[in-house]
Structure 1
């Protein structure tokens, strides 16, 4: 039996291993598991963009509440 130190380096799996033969980071159109990953990533970018926009003083929510009289 080979130990970690004696086995050849070709036996080491890649860091980003494919899941069920499909790259989990690949962009695939339609309803599939990768769509949920991309949806989450884009949502995080959107929330961060709105937070930065709000901190800069351009709050859409604050403007709507101000126009409504609150």
Structure 2
């Protein structure tokens, strides 16, 4: 009997891409703060 990997939920493929995109977003956030000299809250007008 074959075991099928679930199509939804916490699959290895989904978690790998989630981690990669999270790291990309974090790097873009740091670069934006470095370039503008303002934090994210200042950029959004909350501070």
Q: TM-score range by the shorter chain?
A: 0.5 to 0.7
Query: Deviating runs (4+, > 3 A) in structure 1?
Result: none
RMSD of equivalent CA atoms: 1.9
Q: Larger helix proportion, structure 1 or 2? A: 2
Q: Does 1:44 align with 2:29?
A: no
Give the alignment's TM-score, normalised by structure 2: 0.60
Name structure 1 gaps, 5 residues minimum.
Answer: 1-28, 66-70
If you compute each CA radius of gyration, which structure gives the higher value, 1 or 2?
Answer: 1
Q: Count how many residue pairs are aligned between Structure 1 and Structure 2.
A: 37
- TM-score, normalised to structure 1's length? 0.44
